[in-house]
Structures are given as C-alpha cells and as structure tokens.
Amino acid sequence: MEMTAARENTGACAIGFVLYAWGMVEIPTPSPALKKRQRRLTVVLLLVWAVTSFGPGFFARSLSFEVWGWPFHFWMAAQGSILIFLAIVVVYAWLMNRWEAQEAAQR
C-alpha cells in the first residue's frame, strides 16, 4: 500500500517536471529585490559557515576556555560546527519561505 502512494507521488512530480519542461506550467521568477535579499543572505550565511568551520582550527591554541567541561576548540570541532551548520540551514529555509510567501502575497 505504501509503495503505491510513493509511486503516485513520484509520478506526480515527474508529470509536473514534464509540464514545466514543455512550457505548459509557468513558474514565477522572483523580483530583483528578492534576488538581492537571497544573495545577501547566502553570502552572510556562507561567511558564518566559513568562520565557524575554519576559525577554531586556526585559533585553537588561543581558544583555551571551557564549555560544559570541555575545551572550546574541541567542542567546536566535535559538535559546535555541526550544530551551527544545522542552524544555518534552518535560518535559510525559514527566511526563504517567509520572503517567497510575502512575494506571492504581493502579486
């Protein structure tokens, strides 16, 4: 029973893609203001990712304080970078959904 539902959903996606490819379905393009906000958000989040991923490695000796009983550089390498990456994904998805909904409401 679950396989049938999965096949139906896959078929619907495939049909939607074919209709889009043939030009039968129009997908609205974002406004220049939305594109600018998207680009700015992407750059900021990529900078946050780069700093949190590579920063602790470069400055590990100077990051000698402890967080919950573990050295900060160890915590960032083991768990902090992964948690920050997940937070970046959540922030990006939330803001993009919000901005796209605002854009659709204005049309």
DSSP code string of the chain: -HHHHHHHHHHHHHHHHHHHHTT-SPPPPPPHHHHHHHHHHHHHHHHHHHHHHHHHHHTTTT---EETTEEHHHHIIIIIHHHHHHHHHHHHHHHHHHHHHHHHHH-
Q: In the predicted model, what is the mean pLDDT of the chain?
A: 76
Retrieve residue 13's tokens: 């996606």
Tell me what the mean pLDDT of segment 22-45 comes to. 83
Considering only residues 74 and 92, tell me which one the structure prediction assigns the higher pLDDT.
Answer: 92
* pLDDT of res. 86: 93
The model's pTM is: 0.63
Considering only residues 57 and 84, tell me which one the structure prediction assigns the higher pLDDT.
Answer: 84
* pLDDT of res. 38: 93
